[in-house]
Amino acid sequence: MQTSIIKRIAALIFSVFSLLFFAVPAFASDFTVSNVDYDVSTHRLNFDYSLSGSPIQALDGSISTYKLDSAHLYNSTSTYDATTQVIYYYDGGYQLSGCTSTHCSFVDGQTSGTSGWSDSNYISSANYNIVLYTGLRSGSCCTAYYSNTFTLPSSPSAQIVVTPSSGAQTVGVPFNVDVKVTSNASAFNAAKAQFSFTNLSVTGIHSPSSNACNFQYTQQPTTSDPSFQGAMYNSSTTDCTVYTLTLTPTSTGTGTITLSNGSVVSFETNNPISTTLQNGSYTINAGPTPTPTTSPDQLTVTSLLDTYYLSSPYTLAGNTNNSLITDVFIKQGTGSYSDSGVTVSGTNWSAPETLVTPAPSTVPADNTFSFYGTDASNNQTASSTVDVKVHNLADINGDGVVDLTDASLFAVDYGKTSNLTYNLSDMNGDGSADLTDLSILAKHEQ
C-alpha cells in the first residue's frame, strides 16, 4: 500500500514537471512568413518571419523561448523525408544560422551548418516548398516543433522578342517590327542579341515611338547588321523597346528573324538573368505585278550613263514624273530592291551607288540598275532598267584603248566649260574640257 502511494506521488510529480518543463501550447497562429524572395543568379533565399509564444520557466529556473530551429526544402509533389528531399538545410543550434529574430538569408550549395543549403543542386524553379521548424529549447533538448509550408516565387527570367513575330507580308512591301526586352521580376540595365535574316532585307532602323530602352551602345546596330549590345546609364527597367526595324521581303516563302547569343543583365546583382529569345517567322506572298505604263508614270534617269570611276561616289538620279511618288526602290544586278539611301524630293530622286570598274585596257564595265517608284498606298510604277558604263580613264569611245579616235573626240570639246558634246571629255570631273584633261589624255594614250 505504501509502495502504491509512493508510485502515485512520483507520477504526480512527473506530470507536474512535464507540464512545466515540456508542455508546449499550440502556437500555429503565432508563426508567419512573408516577403519570400529567391535570387536565381546568387542562389540566395530570403524571407521575413514572425514567431511568438509565451516563455516557459523550467523547474531549474531556466527560461525557454520559441526560436527558429531548422529549415527543410523539398519538392512540393513528394513526401518529405531524409532520402527523398531535393535540397536540405539543418542547423542544430539554439537559433538557426543565417537568421536574425525576424529575417533569414540562406545560400544554397553550401554545407550544413554554414547558413546554406547542404545539397549542391541549386533551386531552379518554383516547384519547391520550404518547411520551417520552430521549437522550445532548454539546454540541448528540443521540446516541440511546428512547421509552416509555402511555395517559393518564380525565378527571375527575361525575354528578347520581336513583335509582331508572325503574319503575312508581301514581296517588296516594307513592314515594321519592334525589338523588345522584358523581365518578369528583376529590373535590368543591359542587354545584347545577334540577328540573322532569311528572305528579309533590313531597310531601316528607327527609334521607338515610346518606352525606349535608350541604350548606350558598345555594338551599334546598323541596317547591315542590327545586332546590338548596350546598357542604360543610371537607370533600369523591366520592359522597354530597343528599336524599330523596317524590313522588306525579298522573296516569296517564309521570312525569318533569328536571334542568338542573347543576354539580359540584372541591375541589382549585375549578373545575367535567365533569358529566352523569341524569333520571328512570316509568310511572304508575291506582290501584284506592276502594269507597264508609259511616261509620265515610269521613272526616268537624268544622270550620265557613261562615266569614269572617280574618287567621289556615283550618283544615280532621275525624275519620278509624278508628284505622288514618295519612295523609289533600286536594285543593282541580281540584288534585292531597297530604298535605303534613296532621296525623293518633289519629282526628283537620287541615290549614291558603288560601281564595278573595268580592268585596265578593257571595254567599259556594265553596272545594271533596276528601279521603280511607289506612292503612299504602295501602288507601284513599272520597273525600269539602265546600264551605267564605267570607262577606263580617257577612253572616250569605250573601245578599250586610248588612241587617236579619243583624241579627236576630245578636240571637239576642248575649251568648253559646259554643254560638252562628249561628257567623257571632262576627265577630272570639274565640268570643263581644258589643259588638265588634255594632260590626262596624253598620259593614257597608247
Give per-residue pLDDT as tens, 127-140: 455 556 555 444 44
CB of 368 within 8 A of CB of 385?
yes
Give mean pLDDT, residues 284-288: 84
| 312 & 361 share domain | yes
Read off the pLDDT band of 66 (50, 70, 90): low
Helices (H) then strands (E): counts for the chain: 3, 29
What's the mean pLDDT when you consider all of the chain? 75
Return the higher-pLDDT residue of 384 and 34.
384
Return the higher-pLDDT residue of 187 and 49.
187
Q: Say if residue 413's pLDDT is above 50.
A: yes
Q: Say if residue 376's pLDDT is above 90.
A: no
> Which amino acid is located at 120 in the chain?
S
Return the higher-pLDDT residue of 252 and 409.
252
Read off the pLDDT band of 9 (50, 70, 90): very low
Share of the chain above pLDDT 70, in %: 65
| 305 & 203 share domain | no
Tens-place pLDDT, residues 324-348 = 888 999 998 888 899 999 999 988 9
Give mean pLDDT, residues 220-237: 92
CB of 331 within 8 A of CB of 337?
yes
Tens-place pLDDT, residues 252-271 = 999 999 999 999 998 888 88
**How many domains is the chain built from?**
3
**Confidence at residue 193, expressed as pLDDT on a 0 to 100 scale:** 96
Domain range holding 202?
Answer: 160-285
**Confidence at residue 138, expressed as pLDDT on a 0 to 100 scale:** 44
Q: Is residue 12 domain-resident?
A: no
Among 109-123, 236-250, 401-415, which range has the highest average pLDDT?
236-250
**Confidence at residue 40, expressed as pLDDT on a 0 to 100 scale:** 56
| 335 & 427 share domain | yes
**Confidence at residue 312, expressed as pLDDT on a 0 to 100 scale:** 61
| 277 & 235 share domain | yes
Which stretches within 227-376 are classed as H helix? none
Least confident of 45-54, 181-190, 379-388: 45-54
**Confidence at residue 133, expressed as pLDDT on a 0 to 100 scale:** 56
**Confidence at residue 132, expressed as pLDDT on a 0 to 100 scale:** 61
Question: Taking the model in full, what pTM does it have?
Answer: 0.41
**Confidence at residue 355, expressed as pLDDT on a 0 to 100 scale:** 83
Q: Is residue 348 domain-resident?
A: yes
Cα(109)–Cα(127) distance, integer angstroms: 18
- Residue 124 C-alpha from the chain's centroid: 23
Return the higher-pLDDT residue of 262 and 68.
262
Q: Is residue 266 domain-resident?
A: yes
Contact partners, residue 96, CB within 8 Å, separation at least 6:
67, 68, 69, 70, 71, 104
Q: Is 375 exposed, middle or buried (0-12, 13-18, 19+ CB in 10 A)?
A: middle
**Confidence at residue 364, expressed as pLDDT on a 0 to 100 scale:** 76
Tens-place pLDDT, residues 162-196 = 999 999 999 989 999 999 999 986 789 999 999 99
Return the higher-pLDDT residue of 75 and 83.
75
Q: Is residue 129 domain-resident?
A: yes
| 326 & 386 share domain | yes
Give mean pLDDT, residues 405-414: 86
| 178 & 142 share domain | no
Residue located via cell numbers 540595365: 189
| 188 & 126 share domain | no
Cα(430)–Cα(171) distance, integer angstroms: 42
| 73 & 172 share domain | no
| 319 & 277 share domain | no
| 144 & 220 share domain | no
Last residue of a domain, one of 285, 308, 324: 285
| 147 & 165 share domain | no
| 34 & 139 share domain | yes
Give mean pLDDT, residues 60-74: 55
Among 9-23, 250-264, 396-410, 423-437, which range has the highest average pLDDT?
250-264
Q: Is residue 247 domain-resident?
A: yes
Q: Say if residue 323's pLDDT is above 90.
A: no
